[in-house]
Structure 1
């Protein structure tokens, strides 16, 4: 068992920051993540392990996973269960805590997984689990399905995560000096803390609140990740009371979480001393979305060794010793000989071509550039933008041939996202024989690494200003792959035109047609000519992506910012 040599006793000797996240991407074959939020959480813990930061993470075990994606003959997404067995990867915790949900006592046990560093250290991750024989049958699956079920199911999940997580940390003997909420799903932990630090009636003067709000605020950090309305959970108060009626008095909750519905984001905002967005532009957007709150900016980063292909890792080991733990050293990557950079890329590209052939039967040409596009399939990501003018796209491809590899899942309840996947497959059929295209099903961490390292150009087309950060382009940068993207999220900070990659348009909101035309112009007039006609110039951009983007947009830098600005206030 990977974590057999660790026990809770190895981690409770020093005070820790407790990091709460509904999803965490631990490793590829543990399906406890759906996309970028979970992958960021995993990178956060991997960087914390590298830096020996005293943290402990709390999440749900999600035994049934998210889902395994199949694409049928018509190009439609089909979802299959993606269950995993915790005992194969983690050790059972010797503790359980009880919550009262819908009038029943629900016991919460869990598992210890350790996010390991290459230097030998690790961060404990508690995977909360209600699938215990003592529980009523309808409560055993509360922690099964990531983002599954109806409103009542989500409330119970988030109660287990927030309230159960706080109780489990205490039961195990952790000394917690701060609580970091990665998005609002875990905001019920603030109410648990208010109850813990409530004043006794005899301590109160007339008119004073029984809850020590300043003390709880001082303990809490909140990272908001999305300006999309669907990303902010809101629950009916009568349903919350029905499930967990005695959490706090209703008047107090409404002051903190909103009068009409319990807004988990508002609850976290009101009970956190430090709040941040995940890029400079996202922080600006969040200040407009949440007026009156001070929203700081800590731009996301990705974990260096996790997202660097072995071919580039070996190249960096030989030329930039220590890059793995100090990614800022990659600022020296511009000294690596051009032919070594290009050869490492060719090997990554061969790996991607082999993966595409094995999984889809599509044969790609190593002598033509590959555009990569992979992310959650939903409307604001605009995966269809490249296909806005098929005749223009065909004309570009006839002049300068290119290939396209795509991937991504749509949430099972996102009908528009599913329609987009089907539409992409329709475009693939229409462009057959003109633009070689492949869609890799069941997008996961392994597929992501193959794509961000094997593509020649990384494409990103979100609708401004809805891309909070976006991290796939950062992963591409670690592999010398430049990004062609709309100026939103991190790319506003990372784009140096013609040096680290290229912008689609400017820093203004454009209609889909306008952005698409600018994408075609940049592809036809700048990107493809450079790839075909000026190899030295292309490698210079690859070096720019590594030395200026990978050297900065990494999770080690991100965690230093959290440690100094949020945790050690």
Structure 2
């Protein structure tokens, strides 16, 4: 059996002696380990990296997705095509531990693998797989695809993560002081804990919860009857699950249940904390909802050369390194799109998880004005888009493909596929402007702009998510004025497109081309303001101080 020394390989710092198990459906720790889809995984990956740097007593629990999320490629017309390729990971340690988890009144065999800390510089991460010979075909597919489109498979995935992860910790004889649910996917772990402790109050002593979803429709829920049939409540009956939590109705909400099981919860920015309290506070029996703003790991994300140049205030070195990083990104543009971009031209990037509310095409809303922008020879501009839509979100895929089609004939516009850690890093380092224009109050935090700022890129953003805590207009960023609350979507889009284009035409482009000193001042101030306030060591420490300590 693995010892704690075998798992950690280091003695945790006494300052962080509380033992924590961090449950997340996805972790983005390295390009080679494709078990993530977007921001939730990027956040979890940075958390594990900073936990390792601080030598915290924290380990991760996740799923070993055989086919990952999906591989984003192109069809013969250059449009997006999802591919599913089996992944092999020889750097994971097979722990030799196989155990049984009840799913759909059957016993599913689960194998545990370990990503050791020294492999990628993270806290230890256990990854669970049902793709083992002891299982039938259907059971093996549970851990094949991250966010499988089939409802029963998605429920089974949550059971493996939550119940299976909690069972593994007992098998290891390492039950933690704190079970941290990063989003509600792992909420079934609480029913397993109830079978041990027979008390909601005992569970509350041990569980904390981070919510990431600021709109009701995005919070997962399923019918009680289906969950009972799937063994989601472990050995409890449907009426017992309802009684313990004081939750009636036909549907079980993962988020609401997590708020009732946890002793404390947090939103992922100050603004999102308020939104979450407004969403859930009318429910009885929920815990306090505070906020801990997301952050990203500087050591992983920041290019050290530009980081050093910014710290020294070496303007010449900043400009030189920025052009080198742009040239690196533009090799990908040339390879994928057959277009040669110019490192001397202002480059705008829109890149993140591809969802409708993030409005990737907002800059194109007024097509004639957009064409005037990209054809302006006095203030030339290049624009790059990237991001992965959910492979069954055909509306988002249609939007992605429509941007490809509109960009194809434009020599200074490109859409890149394969938005994972390596491409994300290239885009942040190679951009001059990082564009963020979601519908207001829909972005819980957003972290891509943090790592862009670490690499000499200026945020051009609506004041949503983490941005109000960071942005100082014309000092470390450019802010887009939001439309009034409550407007119809189309009117909101029209107004915010106008405001976005005004900022680009009147402030961003003239500053970049006519006032180099001011531009570099923005670059340096952004990098100085983003660290340490939005660096993941602050976040990892804040979780211990605010959430884990009794």
Equivalent of 2:290, from 296, 300, 313? 296
Q: Is the 8 A contact 1:220 1:273 kept in 2?
A: yes
Q: Is 1:535 the counterpart of 2:516 in the alignment? A: yes
In 2, Cα distance between equivalents of 1:32 and 1:74: 28
Q: Is the 8 A contact 2:8 2:116 kept in 1?
A: no
Equivalent of 2:272, from 282, 295, 298? 282
Kindly provide the CA deviation profile for residues 364-412 of structure 1, in whole angstroms up to 9, marking residues without a partner as x. Answer: 0112100011012211000110001121122233142100011011101
- Shift in Å at residue 38 of structure 1? 0.7
Q: How does 1:137-156 map to 2 (within 5 A)?
A: 137-156=137-156
Tell me which residue corresponds to 1:253.
Answer: 241
Equivalent of 1:447, from 398, 409, 423? 423
Equivalent of 1:456, from 422, 427, 432? 432
- Gap runs ≥5 in structure 2: none
In 1, Cα distance between equivalents of 2:281 and 2:77: 46
Tell me which residue corresponds to 1:168.
Answer: 168
Equivalent of 2:53, from 50, 54, 75? 50
SS at structure 1 position matched to 2:544 = helix
Q: Is the 8 A contact 2:191 2:234 kept in 1?
A: no
Q: Is the 8 A contact 1:66 1:82 kept in 2?
A: no
Kindly provide the CA deviation profile for residues 57-83 of structure 1, in whole angstroms up to 9, marking residues without a partner as x. Answer: 101111111101113344532110132
In 2, Cα distance between equivalents of 1:342 and 1:469: 30
In 2, Cα distance between equivalents of 1:71 and 1:459: 24
Equivalent of 1:353, from 285, 308, 330? 330
Q: Is the 8 A contact 1:351 1:450 kept in 2?
A: yes
Q: How does 1:411-560 map to 2 (within 5 A)?
A: 411-429=390-408, 432-433=410-411, 436-506=412-482, 508-509=484-485, 511-560=492-541
Q: Is 1:383 the counterpart of 2:354 in the alignment? A: no
Tell me which residue corresponds to 1:235.
Answer: 222
In 1, Cα distance between equivalents of 2:131 and 2:257: 29
Q: How does 1:66-465 map to 2 (within 5 A)?
A: 66-86=69-89, 88-116=90-118, 122-198=122-198, 212-244=199-231, 247-255=235-243, 256=245, 258-292=248-282, 293=286, 294-313=288-307, 315=309, 333=311, 335-397=312-374, 398=376, 399-429=378-408, 432-433=410-411, 436-465=412-441
In 1, Cα distance between equivalents of 2:445 and 2:357: 13
- Shift in Å at residue 506 of structure 1? 4.2
Q: Is 1:28 the counterpart of 2:59 in the alignment? A: no
Tell me which residue corresponds to 1:325.
Answer: none
TM-score by length of 2: 0.92
Q: Is the 8 A contact 1:307 1:478 kept in 2?
A: yes
More off after superposition, 212-221 vs 12-21: 12-21
The 1:58–1:457 alpha-carbon spacing in structure 2 relative to 1, beyond 3 Å, is same
Q: What is the total number of aligned residue pairs between the two structures?
A: 529
In 1, Cα distance between equivalents of 2:294 and 2:304: 23
In 2, Cα distance between equivalents of 1:348 and 1:122: 26
- Shift in Å at residue 101 of structure 1? 2.1
SS at structure 2 position matched to 1:29 = coil
- Shift in Å at residue 501 of structure 1? 0.8
Q: Is the 8 A contact 1:49 1:123 kept in 2?
A: yes
- Shift in Å at residue 8 of structure 1? 3.2
- Shift in Å at residue 102 of structure 1? 2.4
More off after superposition, 284-293 vs 238-247: 238-247
More off after superposition, 250-259 vs 286-295: 250-259
TM-score by length of 1: 0.89
- Shift in Å at residue 338 of structure 1? 1.6
In 1, Cα distance between equivalents of 2:294 and 2:155: 28
